[in-house]
Amino acid sequence: MAEERALTFGVLPGGSTPAEFLVAAQTAEALGYDSVWVGDHVFWHVFWPEPLTMLAAASAVTERVALGTGVLLAALRRAAPLAKETATLQWLTGGRFRLGVGAGGEFPPEFAASGVPIERRGAYLDATLEALLALWSGEPVTLSNLAIETREARLDLVPEPRIPIWVGGRSEPAQRRAARVGDAWMPFVISAERFAEGWARVRAEAGRAGRDPDAIVPAVQMWGQFDDDLAEALGTIAARIESTYRTPFARFERYTVYGDASMWEARLREYLDAGVRHFNFVFAGGDRLGQLTRVATEVVPRLQGRP
């Protein structure tokens, strides 16, 4: 029987200013979070800075915490420059970088502007990952696919250690992608029931591909709002979801966690029972530093079995 995987926690701290983001990253590290993440959109309805740049800045003010893209729309980048950028970030962070990737598709204009047919976004992502893995090896690469056309190209900066790939997406193609090349499967906007079904599929596909399913981290990314006042928590998270995604919160509620420590524990245990062993939290608004602290001190110990 495989050894039980440790339960870990990450955060997408956000921030309306550089200082706010950097202080949040430092706070997350001080509180014992495993990782800090930044999401990605080239174009979006609201303010959304570029994640690799954000993580480079965070690397300068942190020492231990892992830094990841949660998730990068990698198909919207040219594969060769992206290989160099991510290898540089792994060097800059001292090996703390995690590349989270996803196919996206929620906002077609960013695909059109980037020259990627939205209906082929999965194929472009797979081609990009094939190119990244080949270039990161430091060996001469001859490859012709949707993302790259090169002969005997060699990347001069080999990432050490190899950059872990955290695959986002709840669809079956995303699950197969995680099974083939992922170090983790990290879907977003997914119920505990659907996670359990998808995780079983990832493990089965990994086995068929000759990979050890236990080597893949079962993770999930969730919007959250911590507040002892349920009405305040609900109002804040509902407003943020509706402004960010232009969809009624009622359609999104089952994928979120909000309220006090008991409510957080109850909702997260649903996902623990479904197999999740890493949580990424996106705080909707309000006092994010306070929420970081209270989740770390009031929720995490309960889930990890600590007093």
Q: For residue 300, what pLDDT is reported?
A: 97
Note the residue count of the chain.
Answer: 307
Q: For residue 1, what pLDDT is reported?
A: 37
Helix ranges, the chain (H): 18-30, 51-61, 79-92, 108-113, 121-136, 172-181, 192-208, 230-245, 261-274, 288-294, 300-303
| 224 strand-pairing partners | 257, 283
Mean per-residue pLDDT for 256-262? 98
Q: For residue 235, what pLDDT is reported?
A: 97
Per-residue pLDDT tens over the stretch 216-245: 999 999 999 999 999 999 999 999 999 989
Per-residue pLDDT tens over the stretch 263-298: 999 999 999 999 999 999 999 999 999 999 999 999
For residue 79, the number of C-alpha atoms closer than 13 Å in the C-beta half-sphere is: 25
Per-residue pLDDT tens over the stretch 108-121: 999 999 999 999 99
For 102, the 3-state DSSP assignment is coil
d(CA 30, CA 307): 19
CATH superfamily of 8-303: Luciferase-like domain (3.20.20.30)
In this structure, is the dihedral angle defined by the CA atoms of residues 173, 78, 83 and 10, taken in order, positive or negative? negative
Give the whole-number percent of the chain exceeding pLDDT 70: 98
Whether the pLDDT of residue 174 is over 50: the answer is yes
Among residues 19, 22, 10, the alpha carbon closest in space to that of 65 is found at: 10
CB contact set of 114 (below 8 Å; sequence gap of 6+): 42, 76
